[in-house]
Amino acid sequence: MTAGIRCMQMRGGTSKGAFFLAQDLPGDRDDVLVRIMGSPGEHQVDGIGGGHPLTSKVAVVAPGDHGVDYLFLQVVPDRPVVSAAQTCGNLLAGVGPFAIERGLVPVAGARTEVRIRLVNPHESWAVAKVPTPGGEVSYEDGIELTFPGGDREIFPTGRRVDRFAGVEVTCVDAGMPVVLVRAEDVGVAGTESPEQLEADDELRAIVEKIRLEAGPAMGLGDVRESTVPKVSLLSAPRHGGLVSTRTFIPHRVHAAIGVLGAVSVAAGVRTPGTVFPAGEGAGVEHPGGTATVSVELDETRMRSSSVVRTARKLADGLVWPRPATKGPAPC
């Protein structure tokens, strides 16, 4: 029998994933991850994935030169595909605690700072302040995640407004490439549930048309098979926030919003001249509540951003991939 592979399952923010030390994964990593998560399979019943993009995520963590390296991999539930085209700010919340639990970073006082190099899609940095009272990780309190922005331009097309598929949009990337669209411009109110939006074939078609035209203009190439850009439908806030969102990620609709997705939305709507200029504020409303993100901008450049997220260790042990010779369908 194949040996089990060391794995920790964690919730990071509003997502859930499998965390591995890079050294514990074999050379045929992506094939093994597909078999661990149970793809392809609508419900991933033959693996530990949850049958939804938000619960079919993987973090690969390794010691780095100035902290730890975090590689994010999206395992597509219904196809045998592993994509490194994006990172995930929600799962990032689990990286600091995982690095401490695995002994990559020593506990340093009541809050341990973990410097994290986000390896993909292009190198960037985050600092996680992990609560470590009494010398061990506490999952009770929030983890502050700070993203130094450097000098990054946040509008990848060079414009604040573009027109794709006949619809005015703003393409923004402040950590996650997102296309901002006024909900009313694609015939919805922006208050619908994710299920209602996913059931609307006409809406899905126009959202995908916008995305396919926006991708190359954002420098992402042909995005037919890519999980980015996301498309966020914007409408007026209803709970005192900055803006209300419904986000296609990109084919399912997020039950909440991604961390970096929320940072990109906030950066976009805080800038005058975009499709939904919303002024000051920090609350990005979504179907499950409000994400509070703090964004510091200098015109069209990102100075820094931060969010507070919680994470929780769910399980720690060994995981056994489906044998390579067996087909995906369990019986």
**Cβ at position 293, least distance to ligand NQM in Å:** 10
Residue 290 binds to ligand NQM (criterion: CB under 6 A): no
Peptide bond before 26: cis, by omega within 30 degrees of 0?
Answer: no
**Could you say whether residue 126 binds ligand NQM (CB under 6 A)?**
no
d(CA 210, CA 183): 13
The distance of closest approach from Cβ of residue 54 to ligand NQM in the complex, given in angstroms and rounded to an integer, is 6
Quick one: residue 135, left, alpha or beta (phi over 0 = left, psi -120 to 50 = alpha)? left
Given a contact cutoff of 8 angstroms between Cβ atoms, the answer to whether 149 and 303 are in contact is yes
Binder to ligand NQM among 15, 232, 244, 274 (CB under 6 A)? 15
What does the DSSP assignment read for 78-126? TSS-EE-S---HHHHHHHHHHHHHTTSS---TTEEEEEEEE-SSS-EEE
**Would you count residue 309 as binding ligand NQM (CB under 6 A)?**
no
Q: What would the x/- binding string for ligand NQM be over residues 162 to 181, using CB under 6 A? A: --------------x-----
Tell whether residue 157 is a contact of ligand NQM (CB under 6 A).
no
Q: Which of 260, 269, 291, 293 is close enough to bind ligand NQM by CB under 6 A? A: 260
Beta carbon of residue 107, minimum distance to ligand NQM (angstroms, whole number): 26
Shortest separation between residue 4's beta carbon and ligand NQM, angstroms:
26
Closer CB to ligand NQM, 28 or 195, in the complex: 195
**DSSP letter, residue 47:** S
Residues between 181 and 220 with contacts to ligand NQM, criterion CB under 6 A: none
| Position closest to ligand NQM via CB | 258
Contact set for ligand NQM, span 62-91 (CB under 6 A): 88-90
- In angstroms, rounded to a whole number, what is the distance separating the alpha carbons of residues 21 and 306? 26
Nearer to ligand NQM, 188 or 249 (CB): 249
d(CA 146, CA 63): 20
Give the nearest distance from C-beta 257 to ligand NQM in angstroms. 7
b (16+ CB within 10 A) / e for 204-222:
bebbbebbbbbbebbebee
Q: Which is nearer to ligand NQM, 51 or 261 (CB)?
A: 261
DSSP string, 120-178: SSS-EEEEEEEE-GGGS--SSS-EEEEEE-TT-BS-TTSSS-EEETTEEEEEEESSSEE
| Cβ distance to ligand NQM smaller for residue 116 or 260 | 260
The verdict on 102 binding ligand NQM (CB under 6 A) reads no
Using an 8 Å Cβ cutoff, are 72 and 122 in contact?
no
Does position 41 interact with ligand NQM (CB under 6 A)? The reply is: no
Residue 245 as a binder of ligand NQM (CB under 6 A): the answer is: no
The distance of closest approach from Cβ of residue 60 to ligand NQM in the complex, given in angstroms and rounded to an integer, is 16
Is residue 249 near ligand NQM by the rule CB under 6 A? yes
Question: Binding to ligand NQM by residue 235, rule CB under 6 A?
Answer: no
# binding residues, ligand NQM (CB under 6 A) = 16
**Measured from the CB of residue 228, what is the shortest distance to ligand NQM in angstroms?**
8
Ramachandran assignment for 261, one of left (phi > 0), alpha (psi -120 to 50 degrees), beta (any other): alpha
Cα angle 57, 59, 63; round to 5? 175
- Which H or E element spans position 19? strand 15-21
Least spacing, CB of residue 248 vs ligand NQM, in Å: 9
Interface residues with ligand NQM (CB under 6 A)? 14-15, 53-54, 88-90, 176, 227, 230, 249, 254, 258-261
